Every structure is written in structure tokens, then in C-alpha cells.
Chain A
Amino acid sequence: MNVHRIEVQPTEGAGDPRGHAALQSARHAALDTLPDSIHSSSVYLLEGDIDTASLERIAHELLCHPVTEAVVIGARPLRAKSMIEVHPLPGVTDPDAEAVELAIRSLIGCDVRVRTGRRYDVAGLDTESARDFASRCLANPLIHGVYTEPYHPDAFPEGHAQEFEVRTVSLRTMDENSLETLSRDAHLFLSLEEMKAIRDAYKDMGRDPREIELETLAQTWSEHCVHKTLKARMTYRGDLPDAANRPGHRVDADGLVHIDNLLKSTVAAATHELMADGLGDWCLSVFVDNAGIVGFDEEHAVCFKVETHNHPSALEPYGGAATGIGGCIRDVMGTGLAARPIAATDIFCTARLDGFVPDTDRMLPAGCLHPRRILSQVVAGVRDYGNRMGIPTVNGTVWFDDDYVGNPLVYCGCVGVMPRNRVHGDPIPGDRIIALGGRTGRDGIHGATFSSAELTDTHVDEFSHAVQIGNPITEKKTLDAIIEARDDEETCLYSAITDCGAGGFSSAVGEMGETLGADVQLDRAPLKYAGLTPVEIWISEAQERMVLSVPSKNVARLQEICDKHDVELCDLGEFGTEGRELILRHGDAEVGRMPMELLHEGLPDRVREASWSPPRPDPLPPVAAPSVAEALPSLLAHPNIASKRCIIEQYDHEVQGRSVIRPQVGVHGTGPSDAAVILPVPGSHKGLGIANGLAMGFHIDPYFMAIAAFDECIRNLVCVGVDPARIAVLDNFCWPGCDDEQRLGELVRAAEGCYDAAKAYRAPFISGKDSLNNQFTTEEGTTIRIPPTLLISGLGIVDDVRRCITMDAKHSDSELLIVGATSSEITGSVYAECFQPHRTGDPARLPEMNVAEMACTAARVASAIAAGLVRSAHDCSEGGLLVAAAEMAFAGNIGLEIDPSSVPGTTDIEAAMFSETPGRYLLEVAPGKGEPLADLLGDTPHACFGHFNDSSELKLVDETSFSLENLRMAWLGTIDW
């Protein structure tokens, strides 16, 4: 069959924004020579028997817009010094191609195969420079082919059916060395103890494992899937307040703390204690499902999940982030009997955009993508997937630290709403195993195990197949079909559902069939191309697939719904076997058989040693403090404080029409909202607040980092009007490896901080996730470890959204109050990091945190807001009091005069202005409301320290003054691309 080539490009005068955008990316990439101009074109390759007339129709009626575009069949001559073309490599998902095939069928009534690409005519660069530019800015060699002339293959590459053999691994005779070698070479990433446990189990069974069985064990036992570090028994040496009285903790005579199952004894223990103490009816499903579920109103529940997709995003940020959000959305679709996704969150950690400079001692390490490219592509990935799915990304942040250079963090969250009678599902013996959605390909193989390994500069080559591109429309169609099946004539057509995430079918079917067993016919899975082995089908992490457990009588009805939505359905087999086995077949051959018990209960217990001793940084010489006039604008422009507008506005954060409080608020529509509020149920005034807390300034003591992050999340929610008695949170630990005692000690301390904070605020953890191997080894052998990073994400109920408030100052006659005492310590603040480096790094000098008092402050501030005494509220965090006050003033465009000396808790003016002591709120209060407010605040330290006025300035009592517009511009100008 012939391959036809069609090129479409904008006509002169119609503008070429994509060409301009490519040029812009060249400018940011600091190339040696810049292109003078770039013209972009779309390229379509069509394989099939198409006559000339049909080809003309496809070109002119389908692919080209007659008003703005011109089309040629074949290739246009070069119109600049050089050209490049970018095409997806064979096997890489090309989401547009399938849609074009459908439209061609509609137009000319015949089937053709399509691939799409882009052409750039580059003026001012020779071919080699153009190729270099393309591979740095426009293409990723992991997924794209880059050509310097028009790409026009004779035929599309095909997969070939191949004979496979069922390989048996002679495990029983292996010694320790061979076991370790096997684990590494086969990318199983299992420890020696785990390999030995498997060997012993097979010795007991009297046979050797088949390859697919080993793979299944590796997927199921991966850190990604079972959180074996967080669930391990720990022996902890070091300071821990009140260690002996903590659940699951025992202190021995030597002062060592023994902890059974760290997760159960800290994060989950807090939840279960709170559930026993009044929150049991509200928490509907915790830690057991793909997302945690709490009650919303009489008829509805809400669920929340936050995932990370760090390693794929390091190698291919666009695809990594897109499949990250796609996977998290599927988690929500696979919670209970399916929830409808209604909001997304995104938090990214990367190196500073200007942190690495070519030809200096701050060179970008080999094997790392430039942080600007990582961030812009991660944002583009979340944007393209979230927007296409129609899920508003309503909350997020970015934290910059150069130690994320080789291992950026990409957190993606998703909130869903579901009827209360769809909260639980369990497979019934005899149910069909039904897969819905995307086809299975070789993409994403070994994602679960890869995420459990550390990155090195050679991972790019070894693990390129773990990187993939998603197709959000496939997932949207699948969602539409699932929700229809869930609500079919008041009964749900299936008895359980889960998503295919890490580990693919092996994890999804393995988990659903845990108590029943499952009999799986692998050759029934629809494939993207021929030639996949049974192992590949079983562990492929191809996107957009869901697994349902469906009573036989409902399969036909489900098929009808799927047909209507053009969703592919396949019957993979049956849940329930004699003897609770997992049986895998391909054609007539049995390719694997193993007891579910080994899979789910065979993982050996581990005891890990952890210790903590506070870091003692070398003292640095003192530096003179800057003037406030210098410090405030540069803090506002600091990337960790500056506006994230460029990112927020690329997301459709209003789709579904549920918005009440948006990510940006205030007169100019750019003020930094503390939290988002949406309406999960149309027609009701009951709302849901969504926020996050990240306290990276305090990572030098993860115990306090956890408390501060938790506190920030609570404060963000309280500031918009959430009821603090109805807040649920999620934990996401991203750690720089847990291979040594100190790293593990840090993890223990963070988990203990989570327990203390959850108990004090009475806010249960309902779900969580960890990613514990976030480090990058350069080709020189240096290991760059990320700082230990704990994200707390929270949702909370707002009884009546009409009482919500925002952070922008509302009125020039108002007073500005601070609530909560300020410490004299500035350690952990952005100010100290920028201007007083000798006051950073020593955990002993972090601001004091009394979590009980902080929780009490939150409750009192919330009651003041509920009583209508507060015009605007803002949490006082990154940057400190002066930054928070400035944000309120410029967001409301209302002048403000402040006196930092009246701030309670410290007499040190510098600390009053810049300390990042947690537990503090700024409240704008109408004249005359101070007294009733004071009554509600009781003994919580608070003071009026500012007065709004009719000016357009922020002024300090010492006469330092700033134009609000200048401050706003400084704050808006940093992050853009």
C-alpha cells in the first residue's frame, strides 16, 4: 500500500502562532545561534489505496481550512535555510491519528491508516544547528524521530506476530549472587530477602517459577504498589517527643524506639483514632481503595487521590505529566463503584529556571533536561490531558530547588463525587473480568518497578519504554461509558472496578482477585500492534484502561453502552477459581499459575533501622541585613513566592461550571487564592474547598516540616471559609532514597509529625502515596538527592458557599489583624535563604510550633469567618507577614499602612516582617468588628498591625513605601515562558 503525504500550513497573513512559539522556545533555550524565523506546518501521512480525487478531497475538505491555510499533496520546497520534521516513533501513541482515520472514513468511506507530524522551516540555522535546536526544544528522542528533510516512508512499520515460549527460571538452584543478578538484570528490583522468599516458596511448591510469575511478583511487591518501606517495622534511634505513648511504639531499655508498621502506627493510626472519636460516620473509605472517600451531603460522597509521576517526567516531561494526571483521574474513576472526576490539583518541584548556566561551574548535569523545558512541558502535559478530559485544575503550586534537577517531582491530584450508594464494590465469584478503554501495547512496561529504582544518567536508554504518551479522549469516552453503566436504570452494571495503573493487568486483576482468584485469557486483550508476548500483555502499563468485574447477565448491556460511546470492551476471563489461584492462559497454553496467597501475603516482613540526629551546619559568616525597600520586591519576585499565573491560565480551571473561589482572585484577577472552592452538586450551596500545604523551608527537620505543611493546608482551607471540623487530608512522601538510616530516620520523623498534626487538627488522612527513590546519579558518579518532600493535600466542606471569602483586601476603611504569635526565628524562611544564609540550616533554630495552639487558632479564625466578621483572610506563609500583607493590598488594589512592631510574639522587627512561623493568619476586619472578633479569638495572640486607606501604596511606619502596582508587577514578572 502507498503512503501519501499531505502538508498544511498557515497562509501569509493568517499568522503562524505555532511558528512563533517555536521561535520563543529557541530564545529560552539559550542556543549559540538563534533562528531568524520559523514557519510551522502540519504533516499527515496516509497509508492506503486512495485515488487522486479522494486524496484531493481529504486534503482540501478535511485537513485544510480554506480561509487560513494552504495545502499541498507531497512536500513543499524548502522555504528557509533548513528544515526539520518531528514525527512520533513507531509504537508511540499518536492521539490525533485515530480521529483523522475516523473522519476520512466519514468523508470518503474507506479505511486508511494515519500518522501525524510537524514540519518547521528554520531560517538562519544550518541543518546541524536546526537538528540540535529541534532535539532540545521541539522533540524528545525517546518518542520522536527528527528528520532534516520531508519524511515520507514507503510503508508504515508493522508489528509481527511471533512465536513465544513459556520460559521457566531455574530459581530453586540459585545462590544469593545469582538471585541478586537476576533481580537487577530482569529489572525486577526486588531485594535479596524478597528473592529468597520467592525461591523458598517455589521450593515448597516443588517447581521453578515461569517468567510471567516472577514478573507478577515483582510488580505486586514493588515499592510503588505495596509501600513496603512505609509498612516496615522500624527501629528508630533519636529524639521523638512522647515516644512511649504513641500507638504501635515501644521504647526499650536502650532508648531505641520500636515501631510496628510505620504507616499503621502514625498516619493511619491518627485516622482510626479520629474515626473512633466522632469521625467514623464521615470517613466512608480510608486507605483501602484507589482514593479515600468522605461524606459530602446526605446523598453524595467525595473522594480524593494524589499521585506522583516523577521518573517518567524526568525523561519525557510532557508524556510523563500527562499520563500522571491521566492515571490519577483513573484512580478516581476506579474508586468504589466509580466517582465522577470534578477537580484536579498539580504541584511541581523543579530546579530553578535560571539555576544552571552553560560554561560555568553551574552546568546542567549530563542526562538532565533543562528545568525550563521540564516545567513548561510538565505544565503542557497536565494542560492537554486535564483540559481534554474536562476536569478543572483548581489548585497547585511550584517549588523550586536545584536539587530537583535530575529528579523533578510531579504531583497530580484528582477529586471525584459519587452517590453514597456507590462507595463500595467487591467482585462476586463468577463475574467476568472485563477490560474497557485503550488497547494494550508495549508502552509503559516496567513502570512500577522503574519508579522503585533510582535514576542514573543511563536510564534514558535503559527505560525509554517506560515513557509513554496518553490519549485523553480515549479516557474521556471510557469515563462517559462507565458513569452511564454505573447509573444504569438505578442499578450498577458491575460489582467492582479498578484502573490499570502501575503493573497493568497484573496489578489490577491481581488486586481485584485477591480473595477469589482469577482465570485470565491474555490473548483476548485487544492489542495496538501484533507481536506482544503474554508477559508483555500482562504487565504493559498502556494508558486509559479500566478493569471491571461484571456479572455475566450484565455484559451485553455494558457492551451496548460501550458501543454507543465507541469504547472497546474485552472479556479477559473470570473471577473465582478453586483454591484461590491466579491462572494465566494464552491460547490453549497455560503460561502461569500461582497462589494468590504468595502474591499478597508472601512478601517477607522487614525490619529497618532508622536514626535521626539533627544536621549541624557549618557556621557561615554573618551578612548585613538588606533594607526593607530592597527585600520586599525581591521576595515577591522570588520564584517560590511569585505569581504562577502563566501556569494557572493554561488550565481550564472553570470547566464543569462549578467554580466558586478560583485559583486567582481580586481586582485584577491575579491575586493568589489560598484555596479553591467548587460546588460538587449542582443546585446546592454546599461547597468543597481544596488546598495543599508544602513547607520545604523546614525540611531540615522533617517532623516540623510535616506539621508546618499540614498547618499550611488547614490555614489555606480555613481562609476561604471551610469548616475545620470537616477537613480530610492526603500524604505524599517523596524521599531521596531510604537506603540509609538517616534518610529513614527523616521519614520516621515526618510520619510522626503527620500523626501529631492530624490528631491536633482532628483532620484524618484518608489516602496517601509515597515515592522513595528520588535521586539522580550523574555520569561522574555524584548523587544528587532531592530534599525530603512531603505534600499535604486537603479537602474540606463549606456549608454555604455564599459565605466564602477571598484573600484580596475589600475596603479602605478596614483594619488588618494578625492572628497567631510570631517567633523571633527566621530559619526556614525565603528571606533567610536569600539574605541571611548564616541563619539557615540549623533545625534547633526553626520557629517554635505548638500544634495544639495552632489547631485552636484555626478553629477560632474559622468561627470568626463563619460569623461574618472577616472581610478577607490570607495565610501568612512563604515570604512572611510583609509579603502576605502586600499580596492582600495589591490583589484588592487598596492602600495599606502597617506597623510591624505591634506584631505579637516577638520584638525583633526583622522576624516580625519575614519569619515564616506557621499558625498565623492575616484578617481584614471592618471598623467596629474588632471587639466581637477579640471575644471569639480569646487568648489566641492577635493584634491590629495595619490600616487600609485610599492610597495606592504599601507604607511602613518608618516611611518606607512601595507603589502597589510596582509590587504587583514584580510579583507577576518572574515565571513565564
Chain B
Amino acid sequence: MTKALVITTAGINCDRELAEAFELAGATPVSIHLNRLMKDPSILDEFDLVGLPGGFSYGDAVAAGRIAAQLVRSGLHGALRAAIDRGVPMIAPCNGFQIAVQVGLLPGPGEGEEPGVEPPPPTVALADNDSARFIDRWVGVEIPANTRCIWTKDLSLNESSSILPIAHGEGRFVPTSPEQLEELASSGRIAVRYRPGDNPNGSAGEVAGLCDSTGLVLGLMPHPERYTRWTQHPTWTRLEGSCMSGDPPGLQMFRNAVAWVHSSRGAATCSNAS
């Protein structure tokens, strides 16, 4: 059984659809409150996948994800780091992304860099949309060819399907410097970009999602968990049946991660056997 942990807390509100997406992809989701995880971080050891859902954790007081990030930094960062070290894929859409960035999990240490024991300060920001307004719409997206993200690479996309829904007020990606953005791009740590001309919030480099240097941790402003059946496509009533064959891109991401768990488990079994 592939077990997926969905972390909930006050104000998280996309936990159920995230759990449903894991389930559709063949994993068994369990939702657990952050309060309980902080009391007993070893709970994480039971899981093969982790989801940090969207929502308005603690009302997004101060800034989106800030309060939840402080709680995770103080009580769960070590356990999350350990999970990544043992190869657990994590997905953090929207508020989850905002939290992951402020916990320092994303973009995370560079390749070969040792993560410290203490959570590092954030090195990129997801600031107020340039319109200063919450926006809900579907936007065109692209997956950079060199991405190392195990969730988004090798998606089967076509023009009508390569879109994702966004719904946020604070999603404008701001790097520390142009050099940092360049480095993230060249090292394959940009997992999703907005299609040029379809950038909804003023993000630098059209960045919609990042992964860490292991490729296991994906944070993104769009909501792939809201694109797991074709009747969620915003113009599905216009699509020919043939366009709606196979899995929608959102579900493909979850299947990628579940497949990754299976194959790495298989590899582990093989190496144990040898």
C-alpha cells in the first residue's frame, strides 16, 4: 500500500480534493492535523508521499502561509527534511507552496549542498499579485524540458490540455536576484511556468512552480488536484472526445509520484535482494 499524508490545519481548505487526487492515482490518503504531527513527528515515517494542501492557513495572517510556516519551522521541519532524505515525494499547491517556501524547503539547498539542521531563511518570495487582487482562472502552462521534478516531467500534454487552474492573491514569484532565477532554471528546478502572455500575477521568469534539487518536492501556485477528471476542464463541453482520452494533466502528476514511489521501492527491494 502506498500511503499519502495530507497535512491539514486551521484554514487549510483544499485537503479533501488533494486526498481524492492521491486516491485516484492509486495511493491511500490519510489526513492528519498539524497539531498532532507536531506532537508526534514520527508519524511521518509511516508515509510514502506527503501533500501540503492549499487554503488560507491561519487566515494568511501577516502574509500567506506565514503563521503555518512558523509552526512547521518550530516543530516539523526536521521530520519533513528526513522524509525527503529517504525519498518521499511531496506536493505543495498554492498555500502549501507559500508555506514550503517560507519553511525553506523550496527551492531548498543546491545540489550537493548539505541542508542544515535549522530551517534556513526563505530565499524566494511569493508576494501579492501585481493586481493586488485574488484571481481565480485557468492559465496556460509549460513544463521546462530540463526540469528534474518527478511530478511534472514527462507529462503528456497537448495544446488544449496544458492548462491549470489558479486561485490566489499572493502568488507573484520574486527571486532574490536575476542570477538566482537563472541558476534555478539551469539546474532544472523550475517545475512549471506560465505560458508567455498568460502570467496571472506578475511572477518573475513566468515561474509557476519550483522543485528542490532532489526533484521530489514540488511547490506550485496552480492546483493540479483540481484537474483530475475531464469535466473539470474549463471548456470540456467544447472538446472532442479524443482530446479527453487518458488522464488529465493534474492526475498525471499524482500518478507520476505514485509510480516513482513504486519504482524506488522496487529498486530498494532489488538492491536488498542483491
A binds B: yes
The answer, among A17, A68, A654, A665, for a CB contact under 8 Å with B167, is: A654
Which A residues between 1 and 51 are near B, CB-CB below 8 angstroms?
10, 14-15, 17-18, 20-21, 42
* Contacting pair A669 B226 (CB below 8 A): no
* Across-interface contacts of B269 in A (CB, < 8 A): none
A residues 559-582 near B (Cβ < 8 Å) are 564-566
Partner of B232, one of A97, A655, A657: A657
Interface residue B212 (Cβ < 8 Å from any Cβ of A): no
Q: Cβ of A388 and Cβ of B11 under 8 Å apart?
A: yes
Q: Is the CB of B202 within 8 A of A15?
A: yes
Contacts of B122 in A (CB 8 A): 65-67
Could you say which residues of chain B place their CB within 8 Å of the CB of A654? Answer: 136, 165, 167, 223, 226, 232
Question: Which residues of B have CB within 8 Å of A669?
Answer: 137-138, 234-235
Shortest Cβ-Cβ A-B pairs, 7 listed:
A390-B13, A657-B17, A17-B132, A99-B61, A96-B61, A21-B132, A99-B58
- Taking CB atoms, residues of chain B closer than 8 Å to A872 are 237
Interface: A321 (CB within 8 A): no
- Docked Cα-Cα span, A566 to B71, in Å, equals 14
Which chain A residue lies CB-closest to B138?
A669
Residues in chain A near residue B17, CB distance under 8 A = 656-657
Q: In the complex, how many angstroms separate the beta carbon of B105 from the nearest chain A beta carbon?
A: 15
Binary per-residue interface labels of chain A (462-483) against chain B in the complex, 1 for a CB within 8 Å, 0 otherwise: 0000000001110011001000
Residue from B8, B13, B225 in contact with A389 in the complex, judged by beta carbons closer than 8 Å: B13
- Give which listed residue, B8, B67, B223, contacts A103 with CB less than 8 A: B67
29 contacts between A and B (CB under 8 A): A17-B130, A20-B132, A61-B121, A63-B62, A65-B66, A67-B174, A67-B175, A99-B58, A99-B59, A99-B61, A102-B58, A106-B70, A106-B74, A387-B134, A388-B13, A390-B14, A476-B10, A653-B136, A654-B232, A655-B167, A656-B17, A657-B17, A657-B21, A660-B232, A667-B235, A679-B231, A802-B231, A810-B237, A892-B238
Residue in A100, A106, A390, A665 whose beta carbon sits within 8 Å of that of B55 in the complex: A390
Does B82 touch A at the CB level, under 8 Å?
A: no
Interface string of A291-316 (1 = CB under 8 A from B): 00000000000000000000000000
Contact A801 B231 (CB under 8 A): yes
- The complex places the Cα of A97 from the Cα of B58 at a distance, in Å, of 10
Residues of B close to A20: CB separation below 8 A: 132
Q: Hey, which chain A residues are within 8 Å of B247, CB to CB?
A: none
Considering the chains assembled together, what is the distance between the CA atoms of A387 and B175 in angstroms? 27
| Other-chain contact of A67, B13, B59, B176, B202 (Cβ < 8 Å) | B176
B256 within 8 A of A: no
**B187 contacts A by Cβ under 8 Å:** no
Contact A68 B13 (CB under 8 A): no
- Structural contact, B63 and A652, CB atoms closer than 8 A: no
Complex contact A67–B231 (CB within 8 A) = no
> Could you tell me the distance between the alpha carbons of A103 and B69 in the complex, rounded to whole angstroms?
9
Question: Cβ of A107 and Cβ of B74 under 8 Å apart?
Answer: yes
Chain B interface SS verdict (over half): mixed
- Contact indicator B130/A665 (Cβ below 8 Å): no
Closest chain B CB from A433 CB (angstroms) = 25
B30 within 8 A of A: no
Q: For the complex, what is the distance from the CA of A389 to the CA of B59, rounded to whole Å?
A: 9
**A477 adjacent to B165 (CB under 8 Å):** no
A742 on the interface (CB 8 Å rule)? no
Known contacts A100-B61, A657-B228; decide if A476 and B13 are in contact (CB<8 Å): yes
**A107 touching B238 by the CB < 8 A rule?**
no
Q: Which of B45-92 contact A (CB under 8 A)?
A: 54-56, 58-63, 66-67, 70-71, 74-75
For the complex formed, measure the closest distance between the CB of A381 and the CB atoms of chain B, giving whole angstroms: 13
The answer to whether B125 touches A67, judged by C-beta atoms less than 8 angstroms apart, is: yes
**Which of B74, B138, B235: most chain A CB closer than 10 A?**
B235
A662 in contact (CB, < 8 A)? yes
**CA A838 – CA B268 in complex, angstroms?**
83
Please name all residues of chain B whose beta carbon is closer than 8 Å to the beta carbon of A107 when the two chains form the complex. 70, 74
A291 → B minimal CB distance (Å): 21
Residues in chain B near residue A655, CB distance under 8 A = 13-14, 54, 167
Q: Is A808 an interface residue (CB 8 A)?
A: yes
Task: Please give, as numbers and ranges, the residues of chain B lying within 8 Å of A805 by CB-CB distance.
Answer: 237
Confirm or deny: A682 has a beta carbon within 8 angstroms of a beta carbon on chain B. yes
Q: Chain A contacts of B131 at CB under 8 A?
A: 17
Asked if B10 contacts A477 (CB within 8 A), the reply is: yes
Chain A interface residue number, banded: 35 or more
B62 touching A42 by the CB < 8 A rule? yes
Residues of chain A with a CB closer than 8 A to B132's CB: 17-18, 20-21
A880, CB-defined interface residue at 8 Å: no
* Known contacts A65-B63, A649-B136, A653-B136; A806 and B167 CB within 8 A of each other: no
Least distance between B72 CB and chain A CB atoms (Å) = 10
Q: How far is the CA of A388 from the CA of B225 in the complex (A)?
A: 18
Q: A417 to nearest B CB, angstroms?
A: 12
Contact with A along B126-152 (1 / 0, CB 8 A): 011111111111100000000000000
B199 close to chain A: CB less than 8 A: no
Size class of the contact patch on chain B: 35 or more
Q: Which residue of B lies closest to A671 (CB)?
A: B235
Task: Return the chain B residue nearest A13 by Cβ.
Answer: B174
Q: With a CB–CB cut-off of 8 A, which chain B residues contact A810?
A: 237-238
Quote the shortest CB–CB distance from B260 to chain A (angstroms). Answer: 23
Q: How far is the CB of B123 from the nearest CB of chain A, in Å?
A: 7
A10 to B138: give the CA distance in the assembly, Å.
28
Q: Which residues of A contact B3 (CB under 8 A)?
A: none
Identify A564's interface contact among B33, B66, B125, CB under 8 A: B33
Whole-angstrom CA separation of A651 from B167 in the bound complex? 8
CB of B16 within 8 A of chain A? yes
Segment 780-823 of A: residues with Cβ below 8 Å from B: 801-802, 804-806, 808, 810
A175 to chain B, nearest CB (A): 53
The answer to whether A96 and B59 touch (CB under 8 A), given A14-B174, A649-B137, is yes
Min distance, Cβ A954 to any Cβ of chain B, angstroms: 19
Interface code A854-867, partner B: CB below 8 Å = 1, 0 otherwise? 00000000000000
* B35 contacts A by Cβ under 8 Å: yes
Contact of B56 among A388, A564, A666 (CB under 8 A): A388
Partner of A662, one of B13, B124, B234: B234
| Residue on B nearest A663 in the bound complex, by CB | B136
> B193 near A: Cβ within 8 Å?
no
Q: Is A383 an interface residue (CB 8 A)?
A: yes
Contact A106 B75 (CB under 8 A): yes
**B235 touches which one: A98, A103, A388, A665 (CB < 8 A)?**
A665
Q: Is the CB of B59 within 8 A of A659?
A: no
Q: Determine whether A951 belongs to the interface, using a CB cutoff of 8 Å to chain B.
A: no
A519 to B128, CA, bound (A): 50
Contact with A along B165-184 (1 / 0, CB 8 A): 10100001011100000000
Give every chain B residue within 8 A of A657 (Cβ-Cβ): 14, 16-17, 20-21, 223, 225-226, 228, 232
Q: Is the CB of A473 within 8 A of B128?
A: no
Interface centre among B36, B175, B226, B237 (most CB of A within 10 A): B237
Chain A, range 642-687, C-beta contacts under 8 Å to B: 648-657, 659-662, 665-667, 669, 679, 682-683
A62 to B13, CA, bound (A): 23
Residues A808 and B133 in contact in the complex (CB < 8 Å), given A67-B123, A388-B11:
no
Q: How far is the CA of A669 from the CA of B21 in the complex (A)?
A: 25
Contact residues, A381-400 vs B (CB, 8 A): 383, 387-390
Q: Report which residue of B58, B59, B131, B223 has the largest number of chain A beta carbons within 10 angstroms of its beta carbon.
A: B59
Known contacts A653-B136, A806-B237, A100 near B20 by CB under 8 Å: no
Contact B10 A566 (CB under 8 A): yes
Chain A 840-898 interface residues, beta-carbon cutoff 8 Å to B: 872, 892
Closest to A24 in B: B132
Q: How far is B184's CA from A5's CA once the two chains are assembled, in angstroms?
A: 37
A774 vs chain B, min Cβ distance (A) = 30
B138 touches A62 (CB 8 A): no
Complex: A147 Cα to B223 Cα, angstroms: 41
With A and B bound together, what is the CA distance between A150 and B263 in angstroms?
Answer: 60
How far apart sit A63 and B69, CA to CA, in the bound complex (Å)?
A: 12
Q: How long is the Cα–Cα vector from A666 to B63 in the complex, in angstroms?
A: 34
C-alpha gap A653/B54 in the complex (Å): 14
